[in-house]
Amino acid sequence: MTPALDRLPQAERHLLRPARAAPGTPMLATLSARRDFGEGWIFERKLDGVRVLAFRHQTEVRLLSRSGRPLNATYPEVVEALAAQDCPDFAVDGELVALRRGRTDFALLQQRMGLTTPRAVSASAVHVTYYLFDLLRLDGYDTTRLPLRDRKALLRDTFTFRAPLRFTPHRNRYGPALLDEACARGWEGLIAKRAEGPYTHRRSGDWLKLKCSGNQEFVICGFTEPAGTRVGFGALLLGYHQGDRLRYAGKVGTGYDTATLRSLRRRLDELEQEHPSLPAGEVQERAVHWVRPELVAQVAFTEWTTAGLLRHPRYLGLRDDIPPHKVVREQPAGRTR
């Protein structure tokens, strides 16, 4: 047992178990409108990137996306930094981001996502940062039953944080100005976490997303033709799953540069189909090109209208770490104590 684990109080050492081989799925936060928090919560910056679980056993390091896809070839600098750590056995959870002037930039990260050849990766000018915020395994022991505060303390004490690795700091108290300050700094929002809570491999109310504005993933169900001098397409038609059917969320026509319009149109043409991907009557657009609902887009918006459509949506990029069938409308929990 490592010195860091040895320093745990006896009651908490009893919570340790031999680590299992399977990595499991990541713990997910629940969108919430709650703004009233007492003691027992910590607050981290909500990062706009891709979720990455990292595992090391002796000299082998593995990076996995939220859906379990290998990412070693895309982010070799992160693999190298984890392989250089003194501890030879661990599993960590974190968010991989691209930063522009101190702010996370999902569109910038898009330029690295999907690159897998050494030549393409080395030629990319996009530098990534891996923010670590949880520790799931250490020295052969499963640490997920430990309180979050202890897991973060172990994480901070065990790792050497040099670029591209960063520790995710937190605040211990929530005040009315905390979320306002985060939004003013251009952050996505905050993640509120129950300080004594365990790590569970599912979506949980122990982690809450406090967002500055609407931002979630949607399934691309179709597109319209471009007008005037525009190239590629006019707008993407978006949907989300409600039970076993897709529901219309509106269209997004902003947030693209010319290169994105052209490249995305090529991908959409390969997916085109004759029959609608959304229920008849929900879409009022004319001359729609329907596509198989296989692509997932990240979209920012101000709010949902009373008609159930997005207000002022803006395209941020494609996601390849979330299966289309898992895309649902995020419903915030109420403002509770």
- Kindly list the catalytic residues: 46
Q: Which ranges in 7-94 belong to alpha helices (H)?
A: 10-13, 76-83
* Both structure tokens of 326: 């898992």
Q: How far apart are CA 254 and CA 308, in angstroms?
A: 19
Q: How far apart are CA 235 and CA 256, in angstroms?
A: 10
Q: Is 148 exposed, middle or buried (0-12, 13-18, 19+ CB in 10 A)?
A: buried
Nearest to 190, CA basis, from 149, 133, 236: 133
Q: Which ranges in the chain belong to alpha helices (H)?
A: 3-6, 10-13, 76-83, 106-109, 118-123, 148-158, 176-184, 258-271
Residues in the chain: 337
* Both structure tokens of 190: 């905050």
- Decide: 161 and 167 in contact? Cβ < 8 Å: yes
